[in-house]
Structure 1
Amino acid sequence: MSAWEKRYNFWSLYLILICLGVAFYSLYSNINNTWLISPPNYILFIISVLAFILGIKGLKDKRNWRTKTRSWLTITLSSLLSITLFLALSITLIFSQFGANELIKTVSSPDNSYTIDFYLWDAGAAGTFGIRGELNGPLWFKKRIYYEKRTENANVEWKSNNEVSINNRILKLNEGETFGY
Structure 2
Amino acid sequence: MGKQYNLWAFYLILVCLGLATYSLYSNMNNTWLIAPPNYILLLISMIALTLGVLGFKDKRNWRVKTRSWITVIISSLTSIGLFLVVSFTLFLTSMGADEHIQTDSSPGDKYTIDFYHYDAGAAGSFGVRGEINGPLWFKKRIYLQPNIQQVDVEWENNDTLSINNQILKLDEGDTYGYQ
Query: What secondary structure does 1:47 align onto?
Result: helix
Alignment length (residue pairs): 178
Distance 1:64 1:28 in 2: 37
Distance 1:174 1:21 in 2: 28
- Is 1:55 matched with 2:68? no
2:153 to 152, 156, 161: 156
The one-letter code sitting in structure 1 at the alignment partner of 2:137 is W
The one-letter code sitting in structure 1 at the alignment partner of 2:118 is W
- Is 1:77 matched with 2:74? yes
1:130 corresponds to: 127
The one-letter code sitting in structure 1 at the alignment partner of 2:134 is G
Query: What secondary structure does 2:57 align onto?
Result: coil
Query: What secondary structure does 1:119 align onto?
Result: strand
Moved >2 Å (runs of 4+): none
- Structure 2: which 5+ runs fail to align? none
Superposition pairs of residues 12-161 of structure 1, within 5 angstroms: 12-161=9-158
| CA offsets 1:44-76 (integer angstroms, 9 cap, x no match) | 000000000000010111111110010000000
Query: What secondary structure does 1:154 align onto?
Result: coil
| CA offsets 1:3-58 (integer angstroms, 9 cap, x no match) | x2211111100100000000000000000000000101110000000000000010
Distance 1:83 1:5 in 2: 25
- Structure 1: which 5+ runs fail to align? none
Distance 2:158 2:112 in 1: 11
- Percent same amino acid at aligned positions? 63
TM-score norm. by structure 2 comes to 0.98
Shift of 1:175: 1.1
TM-score norm. by structure 1 comes to 0.97
The one-letter code sitting in structure 2 at the alignment partner of 1:123 is A
Distance 2:123 2:44 in 1: 34
1:179 to 153, 157, 176: 176
Query: What secondary structure does 1:160 align onto?
Result: coil
Q: What is the alpha-carbon root mean square deviation over aligned residues?
A: 0.7
Shift of 1:153: 1.3
